[in-house]
Each structure stands twice: as C-alpha cells, then as structure tokens.
C-alpha cells in the first residue's frame, strides 16, 4: 500500500516544466482493479503531502482526527474532525500545518465506476462542495463503510471486486445525502473561492516580469489547474485570465516606455517578447500607437528610473 500514490517523476507520467506534480494510482498487478483503500499510514507519506499536487484518480477521505488545513484549488478548509472530503481527478490539493490528519482513504479511477456510471456526476458535485462536516450518526455510518472497503481490499476474497464496487456506490450515494451544516456554509463564505483566486491572480500578474507568463504558468504558481483559474477569474471579473494578462503586459510596457530610457528591444524583452518586431505589432494592436509614438507623447526623461548600459 505504501506505493499506492507515486511521486512526481515516475516513468509514464511526464509533466511540463513548472506544472503541478501529478500522482497516479498504482495497483499490485495487471489484473487488479484500479482501487485502493487504507489508513493514511498504509497509503504512505504522500497521502499527507504538503505540496500542491494533482491526482489521476478520485480520493474520498474520512478524517477522524488531526488538525491543520486542507487546501483544494485554493479553498482552505480547517481540519475539524470528523469530516469527509472528496477530491476529483485534476483538482490541486495539499495538507497544511497542524497535526495529522488521521483517518481512512479510498482511491479509485474513473474506470472503476463502470458498474455505476451515474456516480461520476454525483462525485463531480461532491467534489465541487469538497468538505463535509459529519455528526455522530453520519460519522459512524461513513466509518463502517470505509472499514468494509479496507477489509475487502486487503483480504481479496473471491468476488471482492464486485463487493468493492457496490460498497463504493453506497458510500457515494450516502455522501450525496449528507446535510449541509452551518459550519460548512460559514467556511465557504469566508473563503469566497472565485474572488480569492482572482485576487491572488491579480497580485501575481502585477509582479515585475509576470506579465509574460502564460495562464498555465500562473495557475501552476497559484497551485490550481488552468481550468479552475479561468473559471474563478471569469466568475469574479467577467473576463478570462488571458485577457487580463495581455492588459498587464501592455501596462508594464507603457510604464517602461514612459519612465525609463530602455530601448524598444529592451522593453520587449522585459515584457516577455523575444522578437521586438512582434512586440511592436502587439503594442500597436492593443494601444493604437507604436512604442515609439507612445514614448514621444508620454515620456518624462527627468523621471527616468533606469539608464541603459553604456555601449562598449
């Protein structure tokens, strides 16, 4: 079980430079179902990984004790056991601070849902909500189901695969019935997910040199997927992050042209362009004037912040 989650760099799982690490589900043999269940200790140290990462599989987590924070796509959920968490394939998550967590996990791929394809949509909705407070009755019910999944997976008795699928289906259905507690709603309001992500993105692209980054690079630095970043920024601003990156790039170029003596070539390089001619076309398209004309009308030499290096 300690090899269930595989760290970044495993052959067959290449990731782009700067991308969020991707973990996959590893099974004992080619004939074994794509499913695993066990405690955090049994699954291994990566089950509590403190770095943002993604999975190729679903993860249902019954947290029975511990403290700290569970971060999913920048939403921060305090660990206040007992809790149930659902993490979808591709979501970026990690555990932060505190002690633990302790509890039981069920890991499975989309293929394992073949007997109950409708569970995919149910899981998607559960993943959007992500974090469930459990009262004593629901905690006992979830705990019994998780214990049965662990036992079936460990014993591998005849017919265990069909039993695992059935037990998982029951767990998914019962998770969908869980009531929304006042504490869950309070946490969700405080987090303000789309607004929080959008604010972080706005601060990120205001950094020097950040305007030349792509949406994927920004998402990686924020610890979310590009799709989630796009959704969150659109929800908060009504515009896609790509458009805001372009505007940040233009603004940075305007500042450099107006307030420094850097050449157009140097301004292009500072804003992420390797081709000065392409930068000039980009600048004219976005502002209606060439870099030279803009500098002529807005430059204040006495306020220059930088002087280009002297020629040899």
Supply the DSSP symbol for 223.
T
Note whether 147 and 104 are within 8 A (CB).
Answer: yes
Whether the predicted pLDDT of 303 surpasses 80: no
Whether the predicted pLDDT of 103 surpasses 90: yes
CATH architecture of 22-191: Sandwich (2.60)
Cis, bond preceding 304 (omega within 30 deg of 0): no
pLDDT per residue as tens digits for the range 36-81: 999 999 988 889 998 888 888 999 999 999 999 998 876 788 899 9
Domain ranges of the chain: 22-191, 193-303
In whole angstroms, what is the distance from residue 184 CA to residue 269 CA?
47
Q: How many residues does the chain have?
A: 312
CATH of the domain spanning 193-303, picked from 1.10.10.410, 2.60.40.1760, 3.40.50.410, 1.10.10.60: 1.10.10.60
Classify residue 23 by burial, with Cβ atoms within 10 Å: 0-12, 13-18, 19+: buried
Q: How confident is the model at residue 90 (pLDDT cuts 50, 70, 90)?
A: confident
* Rounded average pLDDT over 254-271: 89
As a dihedral over the C-alpha atoms of residue 288, residue 290, residue 291, residue 293, rounded to 10 degrees, the angle is: -100
Q: How confident is the model at residue 181 (pLDDT cuts 50, 70, 90)?
A: low
Q: How far are the Cα atoms of 85, 153, 196, 292, 306 from residue 73, in angstroms, in the given order?
A: 13, 30, 10, 42, 39
pTM score, two decimals?
0.61
* Rounded average pLDDT over 214-233: 84
């Amino acid at each position: 079980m300690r090899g269930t989650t595989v760290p970044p760099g495993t052959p067959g799982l290449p990731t782009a430079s700067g991308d969020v690490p991707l973990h996959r589900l590893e099974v004992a043999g080619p004939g074994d179902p794509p499913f695993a269940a066990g405690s955090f200790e049994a699954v291994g140290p990566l089950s509590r990984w403190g770095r943002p990462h993604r999975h190729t599989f679903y993860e249902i987590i019954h947290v029975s004790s511990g403290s700290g924070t569970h971060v999913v796509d920048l939403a921060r959920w305090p660990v206040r056991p007992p809790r149930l968490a659902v993490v979808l394939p591709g979501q970026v998550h990690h555990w932060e601070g505190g002690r633990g967590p302790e509890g039981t996990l069920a890991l499975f791929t989309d293929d394992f849902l073949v007997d109950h394809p409708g569970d995919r949509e149910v899981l998607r909705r559960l993943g959007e909500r992500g974090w469930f407070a459990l009262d004593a009755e629901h905690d006992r019910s979830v705990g019994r189901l998780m214990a049965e999944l662990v036992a079936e997976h460990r014993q591998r008795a005849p017919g265990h695969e069909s039993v695992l699928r059935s037990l998982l289906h029951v767990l998914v259905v019962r998770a969908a019935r869980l009531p929304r507690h006042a504490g869950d709603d309070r946490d969700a309001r405080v987090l303000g997910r789309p607004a929080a992500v959008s604010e972080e993105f706005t601060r990120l692209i205001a950094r020097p040199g950040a305007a030349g980054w792509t949406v994927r690079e920004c998402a990686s630095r924020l610890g979310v997927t590009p799709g989630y970043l796009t959704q969150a920024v659109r929800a908060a601003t009504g515009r896609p992050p790509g458009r805001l990156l372009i505007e940040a790039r233009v603004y940075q170029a305007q500042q450099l042209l107006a307030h420094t003596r850097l050449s157009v070539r140097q301004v292009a390089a500072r804003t992420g362009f390797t081709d000065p001619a392409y930068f000039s076309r980009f600048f004219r398209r976005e502002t209606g004037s060439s870099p030279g004309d803009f500098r002529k009308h807005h430059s204040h030499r006495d306020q220059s912040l930088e002087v280009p290096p002297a020629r040899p």
